[in-house]
Amino acid sequence: MSHDEDIDARLARLASGTAELRPRAGFSNRVMQRIGQEQLGTLYALGTPARRFLPLGMLAAALAMVWAVSVSSQVDEAMAASDDTELSW
């Protein structure tokens, strides 16, 4: 048995084993609806994935704000603590 015959036999066995499989009801409608949504525009198409990452982005922004305020107050304290600090522009 050659390599091609072996592949043909495997493909035939796979075809006979999956011949009864069918998509769920409404599959084609869902696919066409999704394609239509993507054609409406890039921002609308990105809406679904963006909803997953929006809370993470908001948390990152809040943490960045907390860090910035913390660093700013530390710099203010350091500047106030040193009497000989001279600012040059």
Paired tokens of 81: 């603590």
Residues 6+ apart with CB under 8 A from 9: 1
- Please give the pLDDT value at position 42: 62
- Please give the pLDDT value at position 45: 59
pTM of the model as a whole: 0.37
Q: Give the 3-state secondary structure of residue 52.
A: helix
pLDDT tens for the chain, 89 residues long, are 567 778 999 999 999 999 888 888 999 999 998 887 766 666 665 667 777 888 899 999 999 999 998 888 787 777 776 666 566 66
Helix runs in the chain, H state only: 3-17, 27-40, 42-45, 47-81
Q: In angstroms, rounded to a whole number, what is the distance separating the alpha carbons of residues 75 and 89?
A: 17
- Please give the pLDDT value at position 35: 81
The count of C-alpha atoms lying within 13 angstroms of the C-alpha of 78, restricted to the half-sphere facing its C-beta, is 6
